[in-house]
Structure 1
Amino acid sequence: MQLKISRCVSKTLNNQHAKNTKLQTLHIILIIILSVISGRSVSAQETSKAIENKVKTLLSQMTLEEKVGQMTQVDIKVIGNIEKQHGRAEELIDPGKLKEAVVKRHVGSILNAPFTPNNEALSIETWRLMMRTVQEAAAKTRLKIPVIYGIDAIHGATYTQNAVLFPQAINMAATFNAELAFKEGEITAREVRASGLQWNFSTVMDIGRQPLWPRLWETFGEDVHLATVMGTSYIKGHQGDDFSAADKAPTCLKHYVGYSYPLNGKDRTPAWIGERVLREYFLPTFEAGIKAGSPTVMVNSAEVDGIPGHANYQYLTTILRGELGFKGIAVSDWADIERLYTRDKMAASPKEAVKIAVMAGVDMSMVPFDFSFYDLLIDLVKSGEVPMSRIDEAVSRILTVKYQAGLFDPKPLLPIAGNFATAEAIAANRQAARESIVLAKNDSHILPLKKDANILVAGPTANLLSTLNGGWTVTWQGAAEELYPQEKLTVLEAIKEKSDGKVTYVGGGSFDAPIDVQKVVDEARNHDVILLGLGEHPYTETPGNIETLNLDQVQVDLANAAMATGKPVILLTLGGRPRIITSIAERASGVILGFLPGMEGGEAIADILYGDYNPNGKLPISYPRNTNGITPYDYKPIESFESNVYDPLYPFGHGLSYTTFETSGLKVDKDKINQGENIVVNVNVKNTGALTGKEAVLVYINDVAASVTRPNKQLKAFKKVELNPGQTETLSFTLTPHDLSFIGVDLKRIVEPGDFKVMVGNETVGFTVTK
């Protein structure tokens, strides 16, 4: 308590902006003194009140230009010294450009990595020096308002060299392990802050229900509950109880809202989502992220039902602020305010685009390469088209987050040693990678392989680090293989390190390099098994748009040739989407779905191949059998009626182990409950095999009959347990009224009386909700 009180006193007494705050200061000090006397710590409400007073005082001193500057976010290229892009760290920022942006234009936020076409990762020492240079410029301004610097650290500190880079979100979801998501958040925040950066544009709370979408892998899968649990766990790890702490940082919920469900599957194209579906599937994750304390959201770059995200007052103000109670910053995505004019043809001019976005509820514009937003918004306020009250509202939100993040009273940077790329963090990353990999097929127990097996490795994904990591890794698109840390192991390299047999590789030095199919056929004669590495090259956003989920024909030809040899084939897929592998998987002896397991993914896959780790990942999506077979697991009754079927290649929740598990004894504590009551579910899970292993037990419910058609089942709880051979554990789950609720006819969340089913494994038990 003493340290907390000292910190609060320091923050209070060091307010450098107020001229008329003596009474406020005395009031806050009195609160602290009374807290000490009474033996209690300063409450969050009191801290919030103190920040509110500081914001009001600071806002009262600001000019229009200073306020609009706070609402302006520019790319680092605006302050960068392009000519010195490969020079010393102190030369990367142009002093004149920095002064223009921060001192003259009062810019409140900067983002991104400099300055090459790839925006590649920098050393931690370079980042620290650059961030110090930026904040030194802010300290020279009249009101000394610090800049908040944002970065897309979506699976670790992605733009800092040698950072611990975790599996991507789709893989983290496959772990069904919230503790790992929490740990990822902790480690990411620590390494982001050790780099000198302050604001992480993560985590993605969209749900991935359109497999063509090139950002599917940035989501926690297709299920609302799974995405909610994993996303909020990450936020809590990243922010802790106080994201002003030296090893914590604010998160940003992306991309509010409906972005992930484009009708044609292509990035930044229209989503057709009715309000009931929006409220049932797409809003709950964001609501949970807000309740978890995330203080910022980034706006949907596309449009929903004809309204671009940046122009949608209903979503940005009525729902986000009025219904969900969000009080933080709504920041635009890249150049999307200007696109209301250039792309969407909603605004007749760039000036009108700014007006539409600001009045809809956007607080900060990611411009990103000039000061056009700043100039246009000042004109709009002076002409009376945008009221000063709206500016004050937005700036108050921005200043509040800056105070909450401790930017006005910055703590010393964390020492690099002991806080960056530690052995403990790398071990946690490797465990996350192991738990994220899904063993989908294992005919005749082809896996695990014997260490002395002779293995022919073929295919474009087997010897690249980039295909393990995907986009937002070292560079934006993640494809610059030459920039990856060479001490990390590809799948091929990890296999060679473990193998006591012969390992031969037939493949190119890059994803697009030709593969000698005849050589694969010839070499197969001298090997016991073929590991076929297929999948996708790295990508994200619109560069990742595709026309079909089918694999490239060259990969299909390679697979057919490998199958024709008669040797057992193990198919390993890597990539961000479920590409169609049906004909290959049906003929393969084993199938491993790797997705994007991160920088430790090569070793994790080798651990599983050789049985040094018992796989336990489960699919967080339905893996389609065909290109148009994209029905999610929580389908409606009409989707499985007459000729309609749910027939994926592998269903949601599928995943094998080298041991076996059995659930039994499913029961509920009551046959009937009243509306508003909880119900407790118990089930036994037993390891019926010969090896120790982990199993994720998934609890589903079904509302038997309702006024709005209900899914056949919905995931409402899960728990992962580790069991020794023969060991049984009884798990208990509490289902709340919210778990039994849905969006009713009047678009309000309700629980209707009636019968419900609970499903775990092969068992079903029922109960009734009465009025």
Structure 2
Amino acid sequence: MNRFQQVLILLCGIAAFSCQPSSENIQIKKAGVGIPSDQSIEKKIAQQLERLTLAEKVGQMTQITLDVITQGADEFVSDEPLALDEKLVLEAIQKYKVGSVLNTANNRARTPKKWNSVIEHLQRVSMEEIGIPLIYGVDAIHGTTYTAGATFFPQQIGLGATWNPEIVRQGAEVCAYETRASGIPWNFSPVLDMGRDARWARMWETFGEDVYLNTQLGLEVIKGYQGEDNDISKHGRVAACLKHFLGYSSLSGKDRTPALIPERELREIYLPTFQAAVDQGAYTVMINSGLINGIPVHANYQLLTELLKKEMGFDGLVVTDWADIENIHIRDKVAATQKEAVKMAINAGIDMAMVPYNYNFTTNLIELVTEGEVPMQRIDDAVSRILRVKYAMGLFEKPMDKQEEYPEFASEKFEQSALEAARESITLLKNNEQVLPLKKGTKVFVTGPNAHSMRTLNGGWTYSWQGEKVDEFAGKYQSILTAIQAVNGTGNVSYQPTVEYPAEGTYDVDHLRDLNKAKRMAKAADVIVLCLGENTYTEKPGDLHDLNISENQQLLAKEMAKLGKPIVLVLNEGRPRLISTFETQMDAVLQTYLPGNFGGQALAEILFGEVNPSGKLPYTYPKYANSLLTYDHKYAENQEKMEGMYDYESLMEVQYPFGHGLSYADFEYRDLTLSKTTFTAEETIEVSVKVKNNSAIAGKEVVQLYISDHYASLAPSVKKLKRFEKIHLAAQEERTIRFTLQGRDLAFVGFNNEWISEKGDFSIMVDQLKQDFYLSETKTYNQVQSLAL
């Protein structure tokens, strides 16, 4: 044993999951849909394992990127037009027995026809050489990311802002249909990470900061991808991939960085969404690229095997993220060699390596098995999981679907669904003196770097990884500017960007031009529509040093405010950039997030009253850089000034609270009623509340129910979201909304890392209404709590 192995064992000993779970806490299969059990498939898997050589088994565990096997691939940059290199294809499949390919080539979207051609060829070679189809995967996270002409919905943070499970599921169904039309059966989505740090470059890939909201919407994505019955062999379905297990996004605000997470917090905040998704039957899981408590998650046996596979009962395929086995050696310095990194990862529970550029993984793993360092049982388990997914997809009977089988690709129906999602995502945060909606014919001056850009409307993972190629593919859609012109008339709209992003280079750089000209143009208008935000980014390239919106954009906002004109601030950003230096000078504020190709049209409709906004913030919008907190914070995190003491600015002010969002309608809440004020943990409590639309226009409202624990053995959160429902109310319509709660809805993870509902006083809150009740007994739950209620 070398010193690196000794260090790893020591780290494992002090990690959050250092103790082996007791047998009573390990559940092989929990209640829920789960991955369908098919004995005929299991028999076929066993027969394949008997037939396959060690090299073929290891090949099934290997995943390479498309650039490796295309013409011009010597530098991993493919020639255009794209074509496979037959010699390199044979090297991958015939020599190294590779079982999976991912990604696009040259970081560029392809037509469904091109995808069909590429994948059909790879499948033919794989079936001829190995007798097993390969599995192709892509990151299709708000539509079929790398397919030209596909339908793009809002990014996941925008879908979170809809608070509408039905819309989220529809988007997933369209994405699955169009991804399968390209011949691709595996989607690296949904992201189930928690967006609890406004600084994080991947916050917009999440549903927001709340556990319950993430869980409910994540389940809808899985149902949309895989169907209610999880039969992914059916037409238009793909296998979901849960990202990124576990605890990604925590601590530093930078991507792929270490985190220190106590087991209690890991189980209460980060785990429930994944557990619910496993129970629902998600077929694959991708692993957190960072470290938790000093251990690379890709090398953490306690997390990958003991927790995920045993306790959570996950029967599917565990895949690495990009080059993350190599990172155990290169970046994390835990393994002295690449070979040792492979040993750690596979023994920890990794089933497939997203290598992605070479075959060192295959040669190293074959040697490790031959030397007895990796048991053959572990290899067979990994290959069984991979084959289980391939059989479930129906790839052995039909290795690839074809475009002509999918006539609704990019249909008007799909586009209407994406438009409706954009409409429901956009969130009205401020509307002083009812400056919105605008009257048609109003003289509008549009300015800002995000006013005339399809790139910024879509964000990253759109036609390319960083989203920089959007304008090459999205020419038929409306930007914010052209959409306003379409609704309000070109003659009533003037425009100048004033602040512009560079065509290439660092995403967070912009340039100020022609400010005096912009001021002259603004003076001639009735209203200024100021479109600020961010350029496109994701992952490490999106790391930032300053959460404030850029200095040039701040200057533009302040100079526009000096003119005395009404200003409508339109935010188009992946994370909440700080706007407190000028927000008070804005008359209205709209958050569009990253609404996709139909975001411009949806926004214009809202600006001019054709659509009533209904989005709600899925995160807390911070006001200051050192006041980053979530809505479910502890009381001690937000201490007000105590009598007789100095005020050390300890109050954590926020710009806009979680769940906030205005409407052009006026909703009134009354008569919050509980079926009982005392109940046991085994009983249910019925909650009802009346909601009335007191206005002359129809609107949608999200009814949000929160629980507050008055006192607990561990410091309770101020409040927790436990139920929500989005409703449509006609003018003057009133409706009674009902929710059902159980004792486990009051539970938290206690000192012994078990879920516990403690007896005591609680409050239920809906809007400004509150009712107290009493839980008369304490109950523990010897399992991971699933919020799939």
TM-score, normalised by the number of residues in structure 2:
0.90
Aligned 8 A contact 1:202 1:252 in 2: yes
**d(CA) in 1 for partners of 2:614 and 2:199?**
26
Distance in 1, matches of 2:361 and 2:176, equals 30
Distance verdict in 2 for CA 1:543–1:96, change over 3 Å: same
Match of 1:196 among 154, 169, 183: 183
- 1:451 is matched with 440
What is the CA-CA distance between 1:647 and the residue it aligns to?
Answer: 2.1
Aligned to 2:766: 760
Distance 1:496 1:653 in 2: 31
CA distance in 2, matches of 1:180, 1:482: 26
Q: Deviations over 1:683-703 (max 9, x none)?
A: 111111121000000000112
Instruction: Give 1:88 shift.
Output: 5.1
Could you tell me which amino acid in structure 2 is paired with residue 564 of structure 1? Answer: K
Q: Distance in 1 between matches of 2:60 and 2:720?
A: 43
What do residues 336-392 of structure 1 show as CA deviations (whole Å, max 9, x unaligned)? 101111110000111000001111111100000010100000000000011101101
- Of the three residues 86, 90, 94, the one matched with 1:95 is 86
> Residue 63 of structure 2 aligns to a residue in which SS?
strand
Distance in 2 between residues matched to 1:48 and 1:674, nearest whole Å = 40
Deviations 1:221-249 (CA, angstroms, capped at 9, x unpaired):
00000000111111101110211112101
1:40 counterpart residue number: none
2:429 is matched with which residue: 433, 440, 457? 440
2:140 paired with 1:153: yes
Corresponding residue to 1:312 among 285, 300, 305: 300
SS in 1 for 2:482: helix
Deviates further, 149-158 or 663-672:
663-672
Q: 1:301 to 1:47 in 2, by over 3 A?
A: closer
- Residue 86 of structure 1 and its aligned partner are, at CA, apart by 5.5
Q: Is the 8 A contact 1:706 1:752 kept in 2?
A: yes
Q: Please give the secondary structure, in 1, of the residue aligned with 2:304.
A: helix
Q: Which residue does 1:648 correspond to in 2?
A: 654
SS at match of 1:576: coil
For 1:636 and 1:246, the matched residues in 2 are separated by: 47
* Structure 1 unmatched ranges of 5 or more: 1-42
1:249-398 alignment, distance < 5 Å? 249-261=238-250, 263-398=251-386
Query: Which position in structure 1 is the counterpart of 2:700?
Result: 694
The aligned amino acid for 1:368 is P
In structure 2, what is the equivalent of residue 563 of structure 1? Answer: 561
Q: Distance in 2 between matches of 1:525 and 1:365?
A: 59
Match of 2:717?
A: 711
Among 395, 399, 418, which residue is 1:429 paired with?
Answer: 418
**Correspondences of 1:510-525 after superposition (within 5 Å):** 510=501, 512-525=510-523
Residue type of the alignment partner of 1:201: F
Q: Retained in 2: the 8 A contact 1:235–1:251?
A: yes
Do residues 479 (structure 1) and 468 (structure 2) align? yes
2:622 to 598, 602, 624: 624
- Report SS of the residue matched to 1:719: strand
Q: Which amino acid aligns with 2:662?
A: L
Question: Size of the alignment, in residue pairs?
Answer: 722
| 1:77 equivalent among 67, 70, 80 | 67
Contact 1:672 1:767 in 2 (8 A): yes
What SS does the corresponding residue of 1:734 show, helix, strand or coil? strand
Amino acid at match of 1:428: S
CA distance in 1: counterparts of 2:654 and 2:388, whole angstroms: 47
Counterpart among 724, 732, 736 of residue 726 in structure 1: 732
Give the drift of 1:621.
0.3
C-alpha contact 1:204 1:218 (8 A) present in aligned 2:
yes
**3-state SS, counterpart of residue 433 of structure 1:** helix
Cα-to-partner distance string for 1:392-434 (whole Å, 9 max, x where unaligned): 1111111111111111111753536532111111000000001
CA 629–640 in structure 1, closer or farther in 2 if over 3 Å, else same: closer
**1:620-663 CA deviation, whole Å, 9 max, x = no partner?**
00000111211100111212334443421000011000111011
More contact order relative to length (CA 8 Å, sep ≥ 6) = 2
**Alpha-carbon separation, structure 1, partners of 2:652 and 2:665:** 28
Counterpart of 2:761 in 1: which secondary structure?
strand
3-state SS, counterpart of residue 582 of structure 1: coil
Say if 2:673 is the partner of 1:667: yes
| Residues 506 and 515 in structure 1, CA contact (< 8 A), matched pair in contact too | no
Is the CA contact 2:530–2:570 (under 8 Å) kept in the aligned structure 1? yes
Aligned-residue sequence identity (percent) comes to: 45
Q: Distance in 2 between matches of 1:388 and 1:51?
A: 21
Correspondence list, 1:473-622, <5 A? 473-500=462-489, 501-507=491-497, 510=501, 512-622=510-620
CA RMSD of aligned residues (A): 1.6
- Cα gap change, 1:352/1:678 in structure 2, threshold over 3 Å: closer, same or farther? same
Kindly indicate whether the alpha-carbon contact (under 8 Å) linking 2:554 and 2:581 is maintained by their aligned counterparts in 1.
Answer: no
Q: How far does the alpha carbon of each residue in 1:488-535 deviate from its partner, in whole angstroms, 9 at most, with x for none?
A: 110001011111352111116745454311111111221101111111
2:220 paired residue number = 233
Q: Distance in 2 between matches of 1:474 and 1:770?
A: 55
Distance 1:677 1:317 in 2: 35
3-state SS of the aligned residue for 2:691? strand
Aligned twin of 1:109 = 100
Separation in structure 1 between the aligned mates of residue 312 and residue 410 of structure 2, nearest angstrom: 37
Equivalent AA in structure 2 for residue 438 of structure 1: T
Is the 1:678–1:734 contact (alpha carbons within 8 Å) kept by the matching residues of 2? yes
- Superposition map of 1:22-33 within 5 A: none
Identify the range of structure 1 (579-588 vs 348-357) with the bigger mean alpha-carbon deviation.
579-588
Structure 1 ranges of 4+ moved more than 6 A: 43-46
In 2, Cα distance between the equivalents of 1:766 and 1:233? 32
AA matched with 1:364: M
Gaps of 5+ in 2: 1-32, 503-509, 642-649, 778-789
Partner of residue 409, structure 2: 420
Deviation of the 1:311 alpha carbon: 1.0
- For the Cα contact (< 8 Å) 1:194–1:420, is it kept in 2? yes
Q: Deviations over 1:439-461 (max 9, x none)?
A: 01111111111110111111101
Query: Alpha-carbon deviation of 1:47?
Result: 5.4
Contact 2:176 2:238 in 1 (8 A): yes
Superposed displacement of residue 736, structure 1:
2.7
Within the candidate set 740, 750, 761, 2:756 is matched to 750
Structure 1 partner of 2:688 = 682
Q: Which moved more, 1:355-364 or 1:668-677?
A: 668-677
State how far apart, in whole Å, the 1-side matches of 2:246 and 2:225 are: 22
> AA paired with 1:505?
Y
Q: Which whole-Å CA distance do the structure 2 matches of 1:326 and 1:46 have between them?
A: 12
In the alignment, the residues of structure 1 paired with residue 36 and residue 557 of structure 2 have an alpha-carbon distance, to the nearest angstrom, of 64
The residue type equivalent to 2:774 in the other structure is: T
